[in-house]
Amino acid sequence: MRRRFLGLLAALALSSPALSSPTVAQAQKPSTLRIVMHSDVKILDPVWTTAFIVRNHGYMIYDTLFALDVNLQIQPQMVDKWTVSDDKLTWTFTLRDGLAFHDGAPVTSEDVIASLKRWAVRDGLGQILWAKIADAKAVDARTFQLVLKSPTGIMLQALAKPSGNPFIMPRRVAETDAAKQIEDYTGSGPFIFKKDEWKAGDKTVYLRNPNYKPRAEPPSGLAGGKVVKVDRVEWLAIPDQQTAVNALLTGEIDIIEQPQHDLYKLLKADKGVSLINTNKWGNQYIFRFNQLHKPFDNPKVRQAMLYALNQKDFLDGVIGDPEYYTICKAMFICGGPYATTVGFDDKYESNFPKAKELLKEGGYDGAPVVLLHSTDLYVLTNMAPIAKALMEKAGMKVDMQSMDWQTLVSRRAKREAPDKGGWNVLITSTAAADALDPLGYSFIGATCDKAWFGWPCDEEITRLRQAFADETDEAKRKQIVEALQLRAAENPTHAFLGQYTGAMAVRKNVTGSVVSPVPVFWNIEKK
């Protein structure tokens, strides 16, 4: 016990020098909110990567044209009003008055158009929308138009998606090649990024934007008034969960975004801490194939994994408590408007004889496959070892390579062969709010080089997604979803490994947390 206590003190000192001082609690100003996020911030361009920590950073410093409220309904954010022509082709948008970037320059239509164009190069739903755009132009400083080739019902859905939202940047920044990361982090959002205080592996700092003009409505999800009630927010990198929890219990930090489920009992027992479920929709686990290289370039081998894996092993091994997880064979989320198990009823049950049969049909030759293993995010740490065991029972050889999450995020973009720095399989998660239908769900995209990492290529899946986008009749949309799932079972882009929810741990002197599919820190007060 003494060794464990001394080790804990050492970890606390190493994880954040500020926390090693016994005077931190007294010196900390009430207007400073100190938070341990689920990951460290090493990439700062929310268009360049889909990593949630970078998305969260985006919501701090940028604003959006539209956003989803707490009921997942689309609401205007930077937009004041909009109209649609009688032929449904010309959409005219007017920005709210008083919008300005952090450097004082007004937000203009030219900034919006440039931001949308860069976003549409990389985002799956942006690609679908932009394929239907005939013209995007600024009418005046606050008015812009998007002119369609043919009518579509996805315009506002694309502009309001919670992850991969088209954050509005200054034109000079948005004109950066989408294949390169931006270097200027000027936004117009409620917080200002303090680049001079950013130190990867230590902390990320944001200041309240004193010139931000919030909407008049109360906050609701990602929509409404983004009123910042603290002067400063610090995201602290403390990878050890027990260390972070101890810092929360002593009041040295204010919030842990994603505490481990097995620490909930300890947190609930403390009178100074609350557990708040701010993301009531939860998340879905994803097992992603890289289809550029053997053996997962063969659909039979990918099908074999759908039979070899089972969701319960993963959910028990990571989440543990059934109160916080759901075994679900619906690709588009159990409880969602398009939930159906068509195509997957006989899968995810660890049918190893069937998996071995398919591996043989797919010509698997016994070569090892590279499985990327994230070691520093507890919601992912145990996933790869479980996958390795199940894959090996099915007859695969697995080379599990361990690394921190940010290294994995960089490596997943590599298209090289697995033995030259690439990969075969990785495991991640997505917000359930991003997986409600085929359009927002990036993992079903199969547009080859333009698809999410793993780069699946399938004309039929692409055709069905476009048909879903063009269809307005709900009954027909559900038929399209069933056809899409049948095709995805035949030519898999990924496996989905169940759903889970969690809670944010918050000191009780911190109030005003917003229920949202993305963790946000406006409206929060610290007493």
Q: Do 270 and 297 belong together in one domain?
A: no
Indicate if 427 and 332 belong to the same structural domain.
yes
Give every CB contact of residue 167 below 8 A, 6+ residues apart in sequence.
Answer: 46, 47, 58, 62, 63, 64, 115, 119, 187
Token pair of 37, please?
């996020």
pLDDT given for residue 99 in this prediction: 98
Domain housing 317: 283-500
In a domain, 49, yes or no: no
Computed over every residue of the chain, the mean pLDDT equals 93
User: What is the identity of the amino acid at 399?
Assistant: D
Q: How far apart are CA 390 and CA 91, in angstroms?
A: 50
Which helix (H) or strand (E) covers residue 358, if one does?
helix 352-361
Q: Is residue 53 part of a domain?
A: no
Is residue 124 located within the same domain as residue 163?
yes
pLDDT for position 36: 97
- Which band of pLDDT confidence, cut at 50, 70 and 90, is reported for residue 30? low
Of 453, 492, 259, residue with least CA distance to 358: 492
The yes-or-no verdict on residue 14 having pLDDT over 60 is: no
Q: pLDDT tens digit string along 78-105?
A: 999 999 999 999 999 999 999 999 999 9
> What pLDDT does 401 receive?
98
Lowest mean pLDDT among 102-106, 220-224, 279-283, 519-523: 279-283
**Looking at the domain assignment, is residue 160 inside a domain?**
yes
Q: Which value, in Å, is the radius of gyration of the alpha carbons in the chain?
A: 23
pLDDT tens digits, 191-211: 999 999 999 899 999 999 999
For residue 10, what pLDDT is reported? 42
Q: 274-294, pLDDT tens digit by residue? A: 999 999 899 999 999 999 999
Please indicate, yes or no, if residue 472 is contained in any of the structural domains: yes
Residue 21 shares a structural domain with residue 132: no
Same domain, 401 and 496: yes
Map residue 427 onto helix, strand or coil: strand
CATH of residue 510:
3.40.190.10
Q: Domain count for the chain, please give it.
A: 3
407, containing H or E segment: helix 405-411
Place of tokens 């550029």: 292
Alpha helices in 213-325 (DSSP H): 241-249, 264-268, 299-308, 311-318
pLDDT tens digit sequence for 115-169: 999 999 999 899 999 999 999 999 999 999 999 999 988 999 999 999 999 999 9
Q: What average pLDDT score do residues 486-496 get?
A: 98
Cα-based angle 457, 463, 464 (whole degrees, multiple of 5) = 110
Among 120, 151, 174, the domain boundary falls at 174
Q: Which of 149, 174, 199 lies at the terminal end of a domain, its last residue? A: 174
In a domain, 70, yes or no: yes
* Global confidence as pTM: 0.86
Q: Is the pLDDT of residue 403 over 50?
A: yes
Indicate whether 16 pLDDT > 60.
Answer: no
If asked whether residues 226 and 302 sit together in one domain, one would say no
Q: What is the pLDDT of residue 50?
A: 84
User: Residue 83: which CATH number?
Assistant: 3.90.76.10
Domain co-membership, 254 together with 399: no
Q: Give 342-351 pLDDT, tens digit per residue.
A: 999 999 999 9
Which of 4-18, 235-249, 257-271 has the lowest average pLDDT?
4-18
Higher pLDDT, 11 or 126: 126
Q: Are residues 350 and 287 in the same domain?
A: yes
Whether 313 contacts 498, CB under 8 Å: no
Average pLDDT, stretch 303-321? 97
Strands (E) in 203-327, as ranges, are: 203-208, 232-236, 255-256, 273-276, 283-289, 325-326
Q: In 360-370, which positions are buried (b, 16+ CB within 10 angstroms) versus exposed (e)?
A: eebebeeeebb
Closest CA to 332 of 442, 464, 456: 442
48 falls within a domain: no
Residue 216 has pLDDT above 50, yes or no: yes
Distance between CA 365 and CA 301 in Å, rounded?
11
Residues 6+ apart with CB under 8 A from 76: 65, 66, 82
- Choose among 256, 243, 236, 244: nearest CA to 9: 243
Query: What is the pLDDT, as a whole number, of residue 153?
Result: 86
Bridge partners of residue 280, in order along the sequence: none
> Residue 406 sits in a domain of what CATH number?
3.10.105.10
Residue 432 lies in a domain: yes
- 323 and 450 inside one domain: yes
- Contact (Cβ atoms closer than 8 angstroms) between residue 132 and residue 150: yes
Q: Give the tokens for residue 197.
A: 């205080």
Residue 212, in any domain of the structure: yes
Domain limit, last residue, from 174, 203, 238: 174
Residues 205 and 228 in one domain: yes
Q: Give the pLDDT band (50/70/90) at residue 12.
A: very low
Opening angle at CA 125, ends 124 and 127, nearest 5: 65
Residues 27 and 117 in one domain: no
Which residues sit opposite 289 in a β-bridge?
A: 425
Considering the domain architecture, whether residues 9 and 130 belong to the same structural domain is answered as no
